[in-house]
Structure 1
Amino acid sequence: MQRRMEELRKKPELPELLLQQLSSQPESPDSKEQLQQALDARAQLGTCVEQLKDLLKSLQVERDQHAENLKGENAIWHWKMQQMSEQMCKLREDRGHSMSQVQELETSVAKLRNQLAVPPPQEPPAGPSEVEPRLQAKAEQLQKELETLAGRLRAGFRTMQLWNRTFKEQLAEMQDSFVRLSNKNVVTTDMLQVHQYVEKGLAKKLSQLQKLRELKSPEA
């Protein structure tokens, strides 16, 4: 498409140059050659105009498609960020709950240890000494769960940052592509206007030559 645009961009020079030549040439008794040149230039320019119209249409379709893709990617990113934020909130809640349980168990274990450290007046019951290992094991289990949750939370933050950075790069690339397509659209529109302007000039010159030929026909 880029090569096609470059080719079409060069084509206005020929019709304009030919139009200048036709306008600057003095009227000759036989204007058949000028008339044929004008007809050929007009046919060539008509082909260029149609090609430019097709190119402009395809660029507009491509630009609209990029705009839709950009809109879709933006919606997907917002959805992913929402899901990730909800997961982060859930992990924070679980972590806070586990920390509270660990603190409660550690407090209970500390109280039992203080009670066992003081010699009782009589033989202590077997209950407290059996409860402490269970509480300690539960506290250690919750501590491991807490560490696991903390690891998941850190991993979740890293994943969110990676998604965010990747999406921003993709979004910037799509926006650049959209801008390039918009610029191509403007260039193609300008080229089309130039061709149409030259085409009108050739049509005017052609009309003048045809009238001149009609006037000279009776004399022949």
Structure 2
Amino acid sequence: ILLTAPLRGVVVLLLAGFTWLLASALFGGDGSLSVRNIFTAEPHPRRYKCGLSAPCPPKHLAFRLVSGAANVIGPKICLEDKMLVSSVKNNVGRGLNIALVNGVTGELLETKTFDMWAGDVSNLLKFLRPLHEGTLVFVASFDDAATKLNDESRRLFEELGSTAVKELAFRDSWVFVGAKGIENKSPFEGYIKNVYKVTNKKFNYSHFRWE
């Protein structure tokens, strides 16, 4: 096949460039590219349940909680790689977002939201009082989770293992996993004081493993 002079020049340049890359890959060199980089893809990091950085041991529940940011970004509650509460599922609301889970089987029992700014705290009390022993309680705050809390509601959360609820104030960020009948304080709790009194731009991200 006859090639014009300009086309022959392009072919020569391409061959020269490829030869340089191949030589650099085989024998080393200052080039930043290599044949390995061109023809092989970097492996993706392994993903564990709920996006955790490590797997949970057998017979343990993997979960992740994310509180809401101000009144813009909704909270998330994930259990065993299943999203229980999120904006995508359209089951989040201002205040306290709660998921009840069977502590033995990991089965979701119920999800509910309680408006702690303009709602009635009696609805929260009616929800917490009859909990059965062994029920896991997952809580994630969104916007304001504290204004309507009274002494009894705070005490009920303390009985579930919370230590931060007694300090919870306007637009603080709070995530918590407790259980009815727990003997000690829960190790699965995250709390950040609202340092932005108006907008609460402080975003609380927490994830734990049930161990």
Between structure 1 and structure 2, the one with the greater Rg is: 1
Name the structure with the higher helix share. 1
Same fold (TM over 0.5): no
- Scaled by the length of structure 2, what TM-score is found? 0.20
User: Comparing both chains, which one has the higher relative contact order based on Cα–Cα distances under 8 Å and sequence gaps of 6 or more?
Assistant: 1
